[in-house]
Amino acid sequence: MKNVKHIFFDLDHTLWDFEKNSSLTFKFLIKKYDLNVSLKHFLKIYMPINFSLWDLYRDEKITKQYLRYNRLKMTFEKLSIEVSDIIIDKISEDYIKHLPDNNFLLNNAVTILDYLYPKYKLHIITNGFHKVQHSKIINSGLDKYFDCIIDSESVGVKKPHSKIFQNAYKESNASSLKDCLMIGDNYEADILGALNNGFEAIHLNSNNQPLHNSCIVINDLIELKEIL
């Protein structure tokens, strides 16, 4: 890692605590729309549906509109809760609107960014919607750390597509691919995407994903102090 000069972070699940912030948003929405379900039960059904649809969206098999509507529609159907299409659309819009209002970060995110910021050029590569991701970054105070913020909606493809990594490399003004390191939680999108495009990679395996030896694996961001 001696050659690394530019570090590219994933956002959700790597720096920004998506699970906690999303849960708080749905807690607010369940109360606002008087939905007859506990937050715990709702999330138990919603989360696997959302993950499966995001995989399809990442692979360009469904649209953004399909994702936003059907992750809620499918959840309510499985919960046997009758919610009109109009209300589902309103909840979907409210979720996107209010998600960046909650800004919990992962453990040691600020500590490690404070440590890395004087030593490296820091950037973000995120699969997500431009407005939402940038609101998260600004509202959580992360914007002061990063030179370039590359989101998949603006580029037109999602990690692990080569185009988003090539775009990030160009935007960063790095002099060589050997200078570039990707840190993220998703093995396919972040790690394989980075390695297949000439970046170094560190896998933040905070969710007990299967073991591998494709790159350095850490379980907490604070471990970066021992590596970088």
Is residue 160 reached through a cis peptide bond, with omega within 30 degrees of 0 on the bond before it? yes
Predicted confidence band of residue 192 (pLDDT cuts 50, 70, 90): very high
| 219 token code pair | 């379980």
Mean pLDDT of 37-48: 97
Mean pLDDT, the chain, whole residue set: 96
Q: What is the CATH number that goes with domain 6-17+105-226?
A: 3.40.50.1000
C-alpha to C-alpha distance for 130 and 147, rounded to whole angstroms: 16
Q: What is the pLDDT of residue 207?
A: 77
Predicted confidence band of residue 209 (pLDDT cuts 50, 70, 90): confident
Query: Residue ranges per domain, the chain?
Result: 6-17+105-226, 18-101
Beta pairing, strands 148-151 & 216-218: unpaired
C-alpha to C-alpha distance for 112 and 221, rounded to whole angstroms: 7
| 125 token code pair | 């590569």
Residue in 18, 7, 11 with CA at minimum distance from that of residue 147: 7
Q: What is the pLDDT of residue 211?
A: 86
| 65 token code pair | 């509109």
Q: DSSP state, 105?
A: B
Question: At 36, phi and psi to the nearest 5?
Answer: -85, 70
User: Quick one: what percent of the chain has pLDDT higher than 70?
Assistant: 100
Domain 18-101 has CATH 1.10.150.240: yes
Lowest mean pLDDT segment, chosen from 21-30, 39-48, 56-65, 218-227: 56-65
Q: Residues 28, 221, 54, 140: is their CA dihedral positive or negative?
A: positive
Amino acid identity for residue 68 in this structure: R
Q: What is the pLDDT of residue 66?
A: 97
CA quadruple 171, 120, 126, 75: dihedral, nearest 10: -170
Q: Is residue 105 over pLDDT 80?
A: yes
